[in-house]
Amino acid sequence: MRITLLGGTGEIGEGLALRWGHDSDHDIVIGSRDPEKAREAADDYETELADRGVDAKVTGFENTMAADRADVVVLAVPPYHVADTVEAVSDNLAEGDILVSPATGMQRDEDGFHYHPPDAGSVTAIAADAAPEGIPVVGAFHNLAAGRLADLDSSLGIDTLVVADDESAKATVSSLAEDIDGLRALDAGGIANAAEIESVTPLLINVAMNNDGLHDLGVRFD
């Protein structure tokens, strides 16, 4: 399968690109608004994978061209760029393509990090609202610490919660998630259930900030 990571030069994009590159044989496409940055990042990821003996194909393109090539498009951009990014690539999505939203909105105050759901209910719902007719949106990968994901020496052993209103798209993305070693995909229902998932991300940061020895936390449901 061909997976495009829009905003794939950022940390969560890097982590997903390296994990899929390392653990699966999917083709990885890095998208960025700047095609030169996309190509550089793709080269860096290929090099890191090659250094680990993995011959993975990672290419880089400007976002619209990257989306054009994809079966699955991950919106690895900050939450305030999710709607713009979907709109920018709308004409490049074809029937059967799937959008994936991993972003979560949070703010820091003097107490810690807090979830602030947008008016749509969640960032995942923003993506769903912005998506062209017929292109399903799946929420996934919200609660993964980007730095840990991008460090292939770090094992996972954690869960990712997957939500979608399209069961087939949810199954596809759950399967892609489980292609990553140590990641278990759990079904958390429809897009309407995304807020409680996104809200776990600031919680993970608060827990890491307040407990010596814990950092880059993930969550496991037992």
Task: Catalog residues that contact a second copy under the rule CB under 8 A.
Answer: 109, 111-112, 114-115, 157-158, 161, 186-190, 192-193, 195-197, 199-200, 202-204, 206-207, 209-211, 214, 217-222
DSSP characters over 19-44:
HHHHHS--EEEEEESSHHHHHHHHHH
Question: Which residue number, 52 or 220, has a Cβ lying nearer to a second copy?
Answer: 220
Rounded Cα distance between 136 and 165, Å, is 8
Q: Which residues pair with 115 in a beta bridge?
A: 106
Q: How far is the CB of 160 from a second copy (least distance, A)?
A: 11
Compute the distance between CA of residue 59 and CA of residue 46 in angstroms, rounded to an integer.
8
Q: Measured from the CB of residue 124, what is the shortest distance to a second copy in angstroms? A: 13
Q: How far apart are CA 109 and CA 42, in angstroms?
A: 35
Question: For strand 137-139 and strand 158-164, is the pairing parallel, antiparallel, or unpaired?
Answer: antiparallel
CB of residue 12 to a second copy, shortest distance in Å:
19
Query: Would you say 52 or 108 has its CB closer to a second copy?
Result: 108
Closest distance to a second copy from the beta carbon of 101 (Å): 17
CB 94 → a second copy: shortest distance, Å? Answer: 29
Give the nearer residue to a second copy in terms of CB position, either 5 or 217: 217
Site of tokens 């610490």: 145
Who's near 33: CB < 8 A, 6+ residues apart? 62, 63
Alpha-carbon dihedral of residues 73, 78, 83, 84, nearest 10 degrees? -90
